[in-house]
Every structure is written in C-alpha cells, then in structure tokens.
Amino acid sequence: MELLVFVLASVMVLAGAIGVIAYNNPVHAALGLVLTLFGIAVHFVSMEAHFLAAVQVIVYAGAIVVLFLFVIMLLGVDRAEDLSVEPFQIQRPLAVIVGVAISGLVIAAVVRGRSTLGEQLKSGVPGDDNIRELARSLFSDNVFAFELTSVLLIVAVVGTVVLTRRQRGGASK
C-alpha cells in the first residue's frame, strides 16, 4: 500500500518536473510545477505530515504558482518561445553547473543524513501533536529566524513598491 502510494506520488513529481522543463508554453510549464508540488504533498501525507501537506498545497500550489500564472497572463508572455536565440551566452553553461552542483548537494545530504533521518522518524508523533510539535519548535527555539523571515518579506514588499513607484509631475511639492 505504502509502496504503491510512493510510486504514484513519485511518478507525479517526476512527470511534473520533466513537464516544467520540456513544455515550451510557460503556462503548461507552470502546470507541470503544480503537479510536482501535489506529488510532494502526497509524499508528506503518506509520511503522516498532514500539516506540511496542507501548507504545501495552500502556499505553493495555491499562492506561489497562481502568482506565476498571474504574471505570465498579465505580461502576455504565454506563447512558446524560440529557444534557438540566446540573449545571454553564458546562461546555459552556468545553469548546467548550478544544476549539477545542487543535485550533488542534495544527494550528499541524503547520504550523510541517512542514519539520523531514520531515527527522527521513529520519535515522530502523528496527528494533532504533529502540528503542536511544529508550532512549539517554530515559536520557541526558532522564533528569531521565523521573525527575521517575516521582516525580510516585508522589506521585499516595501522595496518592490518603492522601486516600481514613479514620481510623476506635480508629485513633489
């Protein structure tokens, strides 16, 4: 049962990931991303991390990708791009290097942390306690980082507003 769920969810994740790269149309690529995020949410559910699954769907699928789509639609870039023209020559080699480096990092982290990951799973608490545990750690041990992140977001929002705001004639009195 668990294996079946794992395989199905993994197929979703991988198909979505391939879709993001392979589709020419940005809207289709964004939909591929949604599929990937859903697959990850299914993985979370099967590991009894219900809260993370819900947050994954609400925040990533519900807010972030919707924002992507919004931008794509508003800018009207929802047509397939001609990939043979390359405005930045160095972009593709750099992308390959960064991609390989990140994959390497993830694989290294999983290999190194294999033993400790298993131990933490055993002590995990399912259900409502799961959420409580998460909240306790977020608002006690890691509260500083948590608050800093929110400040960072505010700064980003204010910065965007200030940068996009044009001073028109008559505004400066």
Partner 1 sequence: MITLNRIPAADPVLEAESFWWQPLAVVGLKVLVVFVIGLVGTMFMVWFERKIVAGMQNRVGPNKAGPFGLLQTLADGTKLFFKEDLIPEKADPFVFRIAPFLAFVPAFLVWAVIPLGGDFTNGHDGTVTWFGEVTRVQLADPPIGVLLVLAMSSIAVYGVMLAGWSSGSKYPLLGSVRASAQMISYEAALGLSLAAVLMTAGTLSTSGIVSAQSSITNWHLLSTGIVPFVVFLIAMTAELNRPPFDLVEAEQELVGGFHTEYSSIRFALFFLAEFMNVISMSALLVTLFLGGPQPLYLGGTDIFAVLGPFGGTAWLLLKVFAFLYMYVWFRATLPRLRYDQLMNLGWKVLIPISLGWFILLAALQVARDSDVSGLRYSLVVAGCLIGIALAYMLFQAALNVARRNREAEGAAY
If one asks whether residue 171 binds partner 1 (CB under 8 A), the answer comes out as yes
Q: Which two tokens stand for residue 133?
A: 């545990």
Establish how many alpha carbons lie within 13 A of residue 152's alpha carbon, considering only the half-sphere containing its beta carbon: 6
Residue 50 in contact with partner 1, rule: CB under 8 A: yes
42 lies in the binding site for partner 1 (CB under 8 A): no
Q: How far is the CB of 58 from partner 1 (least distance, A)?
A: 5
Q: Which of 10, 15, 17, 25 binds partner 1 (CB under 8 A)?
A: 25
Measured from the CB atom, is 13 or 57 closer to partner 1? 57
By the criterion CB under 8 A, which residues form the site for partner 1?
Answer: 1-2, 25, 27-28, 31, 34, 45-46, 48, 50-51, 53-55, 57-58, 61-63, 66, 69-70, 73-74, 78, 126-128, 130-131, 168, 170-171, 173
